Amino acid sequence: MKEVLIVYYSQSGQLLDIVQNLASSIEGKNVNITYYRISPENDYEFPWKQDDFYDAFPESFLQIPCELKPPKADILERKYDLIILGYQVWYLTPSIPINSFLKSDVAKKLLDQTPVVTVIACRNMWLMAQEKMKRLLVACNAKLVGNIALVDRHINHISVITIVHWMLGGKKTKYLGIFPKPGVSDEDIKASEKFGMPIRKALLNNDYTNLQDELLKLDAVKVKPLLIQTDIRGNVLFTKWANLIIKKGPSGNPKRKKLLVLFKYYLLFAIWAIAPIVFIVFLATYIPRYNKIKRDKAYYSSVSLKNN
């Protein structure tokens, strides 16, 4: 009997729907699946309060862990043949609960020498978050064998409006009755079961050599070249902001609150004013940078980790 552990953290329930659909085509004869939802001691509310959403930025981006409740004893008593790790992206980084789990002794025990498939559900930018995830998995002596990234397929500025409606309002509905529904589409969530078939095959054969290639054939990952540079540049700027804000003290500090207000307006300016300029520059330099873009797409679609 093959033992599979699905580790996840989901606020809205979207990510749980995805991993359950994925698991539906893995579970069956000779495969047993166990679920483990990561639970922070002080959980993050959904829908978010606006101030709480921005206040989570520095700890999220700087990967500062929070306290977690321990998993049930029976989860720790088994050795798993495969772990499926479902996560959200917060501020270009794996969410605080997922990051906290991966830095815990529990993760080091569960993931040690274990194949891992990551499943991402986010708005659009996940590339640098996955790079951080790769390093966290290496630190746990785990082996990343597959990655699936499901995103909001609508254009950037539309998805910004709809995701805010969902995060702060709590309902995955059409904003004003005219905008599309936010997040990963219902069709993509339902279709995620297709990814379970190659995972099940690799699991039963104990051979994950070609798993990511098989997942890519099913469109498990689509790398948008424009978002590569946007994500990299965003990380550079977020590093400056996060370090500046964290120096103002813990959550609730008045100086920190004032700086977070400035960060909020910077973020809005970056999305609505800077992002279109970046798009124009990207188009202007696309042809001379074509070969590098092609290499980058291949790398970020893979489960490899650069040595730098």
> Mean pLDDT across the stretch 131-135?
98
Q: Which CATH superfamily is domain 2-222 in?
A: Flavodoxin domain (3.40.50.360)
Q: Judge whether 85 and 116 are in contact, CB under 8 Å.
A: yes
What's residue 281's pLDDT? 87
| Per-residue pLDDT tens over the stretch 141-174 | 999 999 999 999 998 889 999 999 999 999 999 9
Residue type (1 letter), 20: Q
Position 308 confidence tier, pLDDT thresholds 50, 70, 90 = low
> Mean pLDDT across the stretch 242-259?
95
- For residue 262 the two structure tokens come to 């400035």
Whether the per-residue pLDDT at 274 is higher than 90: the answer is no
Beta bridge partners of 31: 2, 28
Residues 6+ apart with CB under 8 A from 93: 60, 61, 63, 99, 128, 129, 132
Position 273 confidence tier, pLDDT thresholds 50, 70, 90 = confident
User: Taking the domains of the chain in order of start, what are their residue ranges?
Assistant: 2-222, 227-296
Beta bridge partners of 150: 121
Percentage above 90 pLDDT, the chain:
90
| Per-residue pLDDT tens over the stretch 75-86 | 999 999 999 999
Q: How many Cβ atoms are within 10 Å of 297's Cβ, its own excluded?
A: 16
Position 58 confidence tier, pLDDT thresholds 50, 70, 90 = very high
Chain Cα centroid distance, residue 118: 9
Torsion angle in degrees (nearest 10) through CA of 182, 185, 189, 195: -120
